[in-house]
């Protein structure tokens, strides 16, 4: 396939929609392409196991942003969702950033269109805006500060007490941060489809089956789930907790992809995914966007260096400011 054809194909589908031969050894070819193209693969913990295993670095949103800011590669291959790849591009405007499937979005980012956030800002001109990184580049460009789940408390605490705050788009993370900091904020009404899918009734009955298990949860989960949790934290926070806590069983309330890395860290412990309301094949909650990426799309996107993430220079410059502020505040002792 020539490049023009490949681009046309991506415009239609958001990814390279060609059937690759079954004979292709994706692992071997991807390793070869990494060397040939001086590429680095950054992957989120929610990616499928094969992608996590071949990545150069696997991490949470904050770790991936730091990594994206320091990589020395010509091609950044982002195995995650669109806002993560966009953040990498904002931090590396001169580098080529590709994402295996452009349709890999995020319900939180979708819940916060830039025009609507601008309208709220206009209504509250005395407020500063803190946005979770799960937003578009345009939204970041009108934000004062960004945060991730692992530094949200620190970022909010860095703002003077008399300064009112708009916090967007995750109302669950926002409500948890309000409790943690004792700070009242104006919360956007957005949520993550994956973390809102947990069933409290099923969680309680799972806990009855494993009475010694500790419940640990991501702060994007709803309050009634968080209330049951022994520990609340980002994906890397959850992995560290399972590693450092002496308990032998954990019920994990976040996207099930995390269990791959967590189990590697605690091979002798029992990890139980928190159950979702709907009965589904994994009896857990999976992110449909994260799972749009697969090894075939990863291979094709490295081979053709498509689909590429592009951000206009004007938006890149504006969006970099709150991201850089976040990274600076976050690295303070
Ligand atoms: P983390 O920053 O904890 O990795 O979370 C990212 C995310 O999208 C959670 O749904
Ligand atoms: Fe977005 Fe939720 Fe998927 Fe994370 S898990 S990418 S917040 S939809």
Residues 6+ apart with CB under 8 A from 318: 140, 141, 142
Number of other CB atoms surrounding residue 31 within 10 Å: 13
CA of residue 236 to ligand 1 center, whole Å = 9
The whole-number pLDDT of residue 23 equals: 87
For residue 13, what are the β-bridge partners?
none
| pLDDT tens by residue, 125-172 | 999 999 999 999 999 999 999 999 999 999 999 999 999 999 999 999
Domain check: are 186 and 325 in the same one? Answer: yes
Task: With respect to residue 260, please indicate whether it lies within any of the assigned structural domains.
Answer: yes
Within this chain, do residues 8 and 69 fall inside the same structural domain, yes or no?
A: yes
**Shared-domain flag, residues 21 and 98:** yes
Alpha carbon of 165 to ligand 2 centroid (Å): 23
Identify the band that residue 280 occupies on the pLDDT scale cut at 50, 70 and 90. Answer: confident
Contacts of 117 (CB under 8 A, 6+ apart): 129, 131, 139, 142, 166, 168, 188
Give me 331's structure tokens: 């690295």
- Total domains in the chain come to 3
> Quick one: 68 and 7 in the same domain?
yes
Distance, in Å, from the CA atom of 183 to the CA atom of 268, rounded to the nearest integer, reads 40
Nearest to 144 by CA among 329, 333, 332, 331: 329
For the record, the structure tokens of 285 come out as 């909650």
In this structure, what CATH number is given to the domain that contains residue 45? 3.40.50.10800
CB of 285 shorter than 6 A to ligand 1: no
Q: Which atom of ligand 2 is nearest to the CA of 106?
A: 1
State pLDDT tens for residues 65-114.
Answer: 889 989 999 999 999 999 999 999 999 999 999 999 999 999 999 999 99
Return the residue whose CA atom lies nearest to atom 8 of ligand 2.
Answer: 106
222 lines ligand 1 (CB under 6 A): no
Q: Do 101 and 112 share a domain, yes or no?
A: no
Residue ranges making up the domain that contains 72 = 3-105+290-311
Q: In a 10 Å sphere around its CB, with 0-12 CB exposed, 13-18 middle and 19+ buried, how is residue 39 labelled?
A: buried
3-state SS, residue 187: strand
Q: Give CA separation, 199 vs 8, 121, 192, 194, 208, in Å.
A: 42, 34, 14, 11, 14
Centre of ligand 2 to C-alpha 275, Å, is 17
Q: What percent of the chain has pLDDT over 90?
A: 90
């Amino acid at each position: 396939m020539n490049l023009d054809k490949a681009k046309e194909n991506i415009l239609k589908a958001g990814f390279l929609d060609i059937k690759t031969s079954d004979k292709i050894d994706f692992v071997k070819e991807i390793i070869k392409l990494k060397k040939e193209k001086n590429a680095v693969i950054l992957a989120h913990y929610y990616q499928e196991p094969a992608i996590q295993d071949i990545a150069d670095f696997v991490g949470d949103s904050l770790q991936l942003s730091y990594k994206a800011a320091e990589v020395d590669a010509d091609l950044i291959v982002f195995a995650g969702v669109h806002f993560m790849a966009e953040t990498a591009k904002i931090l590396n405007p001169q580098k080529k950033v590709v994402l295996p499937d452009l349709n890999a979005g995020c319900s939180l980012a979708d819940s916060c269109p830039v025009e609507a956030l601008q309208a709220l800002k206009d209504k509250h001109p005395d407020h500063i805006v803190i946005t979770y990184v799960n937003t578009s580049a345009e939204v970041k460009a009108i934000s004062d500060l960004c945060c991730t789940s692992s530094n949200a408390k620190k970022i909010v605490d860095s703002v003077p007490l008399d300064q009112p705050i708009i916090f967007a788009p995750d109302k669950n993370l926002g409500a948890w941060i309000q409790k943690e900091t004792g700070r009242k904020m104006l919360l956007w009404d957005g949520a993550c489809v994956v973390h809102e899918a947990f069933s409290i009734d099923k969680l309680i009955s799972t806990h009855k089956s494993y009475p010694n298990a500790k419940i640990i949860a991501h702060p994007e989960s709803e309050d009634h789930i968080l209330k049951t949790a022994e520990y609340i934290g980002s994906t890397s926070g959850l992995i560290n907790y399972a590693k450092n806590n002496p308990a032998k069983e954990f019920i994990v309330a976040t996207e099930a992809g995390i269990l791959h890395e967590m189990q590697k860290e605690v091979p002798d412990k029992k990890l139980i995914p928190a159950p979702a309301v709907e009965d589904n094949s994994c009896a857990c909650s999976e992110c449909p966007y994260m799972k749009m990426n697969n090894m075939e799309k990863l291979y094709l996107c490295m081979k053709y260096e498509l689909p590429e993430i592009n951000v206009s220079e004007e938006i890149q410059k504006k969006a970099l400011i709150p991201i850089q502020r976040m990274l600076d505040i976050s690295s303070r002792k």
